[in-house]
Structure formats: C-alpha cells, structure tokens
Chain A
Amino acid sequence: QKEVEQNSGPLSVPEGAIASLNCTYSDRVSQSFFWYRQYSGKSPELIMSIYSNGDKEDGRFTAQLNKASQYVSLLIRDSQPSDSATYLCAVDNAGNMLTFGGGTRLMVKP
C-alpha cells in the first residue's frame, strides 16, 4: 500500500524561528509532491509543489525533495503566528491521484 508518513506533532516553534516539517513516502515512482496548509475548520490550500530533487524556494517557504531517500520537507523561515496550521504532504502516485499524509500540526508561539 502506498503510504505518506508525517509526524503528527504538534510542532511548536517560537515566532521568528525556522519550522521544519518532514514527510516520507513509500512509492519510488512518485513524481510530484505537494505541501498543503489547512487552517482549523478550513479546506486545504496549496502552498508549494516540487517535482525535481533539490530545493525550491517561494518567499519564506522552501520545499526540499530527495527522491533517493524518499523524503520531502518544508521549511518555513521567520515563522509567524499566522503560520499556525496543519501542513499536509501529498504525493502523486498514479496519474492524478494524490495520497495525503496525516498532517503535521504547527504551532508558532508569539
């Protein structure tokens, strides 16, 4: 069974620190990887996508992909209280099907 694993947290970081969120996946043929943010009571929204090994930066967010080790991570620099949410890792396994991890709850304390 294709799996996507995340530490459920909560991950607590002080405001201004770097938050590091990790995700591992089991299917070696996966090609597309996504990070979604979900605020409590809201639907998920895409914040980052990554398709190639290495780093991809977008503002305060950096996604890192290592296909050999089958992990993808999300770094949030200068964390803000408004970043407090659950972060879902999603992996494209077959065509348009996404498998979601269980999510990591991030808490940024002022």
Chain B
Amino acid sequence: SAVISQKPSRDICQRGTSLTIQCQVDSQVTMMFWYRQQPGQSLTLIATANQGSEATYESGFVIDKFPISRPNLTFSTLTVSNMSPEDSSIYLCSVLAISGANVLTFGAGSRLTVL
C-alpha cells in the first residue's frame, strides 16, 4: 500500500496564527482525505482533496478555516487558519490503499497544540 509522509509531526502554535500541514504520497492517488482527531475522540473527515478541482468539505468544515491545496496526484496541504485552542488536534492525511477498495491508509499524523 501507499506510504504517506506528513509534516510537521507536531507543533505548538499561538492563537490566531495559521499552520500548513503537508502530505506526500509515494505513488499517484486520485483521492486524498484529511481527518481530524480531537483528544480522546474518533476520526472526523474534514474534506476530500481532489486534484484539479476544489476540495469537498464535510458538514461543519469550511474552506476559509481549512483551505486545502492539491497541486498534483502525490501531494496535498491542509492549512488550519486563525487557530484557537479548540483546533488542538491530530490531523491525519489518508489515501485509498492500492490493495482494496475503500481501505484507507493513514499518515503518521500532525499533532497540533494551540496555546
């Protein structure tokens, strides 16, 4: 299955600032997904990053807060804008595994702490 590299792995940010998370895949993939996992919670899908078109956001998530780029089939970025302590979470990039339909492979995640 695909190997996903995410960075930063963790960061401590100040309230009101923005941070961009990068996700690099070792093979071309059609769809890339960004999930959020708040402390002690399960995974919530933020958006699907599509190459060549705007990202598709899930209910409760908006482009102004979480702008996403997808310049090619191996790379995507998620920006968390104007951060507040409520944005402290692990952000995970994922792709569909090559071996089977609807099977997700996850990156190691980016743990953000907002002070």
Q: Do B108 and A96 touch (CB < 8 A)?
A: no
**Which listed residue, B31, B42, B102, B106, touches A103 by the CB 8 Å rule?**
B42
Q: Do A92 and B102 touch (CB < 8 A)?
A: yes
B100 at the binding interface (Cβ < 8 Å): yes
Task: Name the distance in Å between A52's Cβ and chain B's nearest Cβ.
Answer: 14
Task: Name the distance in Å between A73's Cβ and chain B's nearest Cβ.
Answer: 17
Q: Do B42 and A43 touch (CB < 8 A)?
A: no
Q: Do B42 and A49 touch (CB < 8 A)?
A: no
Contact residues of A between 68 and 110, Cβ < 8 Å to B:
88, 90, 92, 96-103
A14 at the binding interface (Cβ < 8 Å): no
B45 at the binding interface (Cβ < 8 Å): yes
Q: Do A49 and B41 touch (CB < 8 A)?
A: no
Instruction: Report which B residues bind A (CB closer than 8 A).
Output: 31, 41-45, 48, 92, 96-97, 100-109
A-B contact pairs, 27 of them (CB 8 A): A34-B103, A34-B104, A42-B108, A42-B109, A43-B92, A43-B107, A43-B108, A43-B109, A44-B92, A44-B104, A44-B106, A46-B97, A46-B104, A46-B105, A92-B102, A96-B48, A96-B96, A96-B101, A96-B102, A97-B45, A98-B45, A98-B102, A98-B104, A100-B42, A102-B41, A102-B42, A103-B42
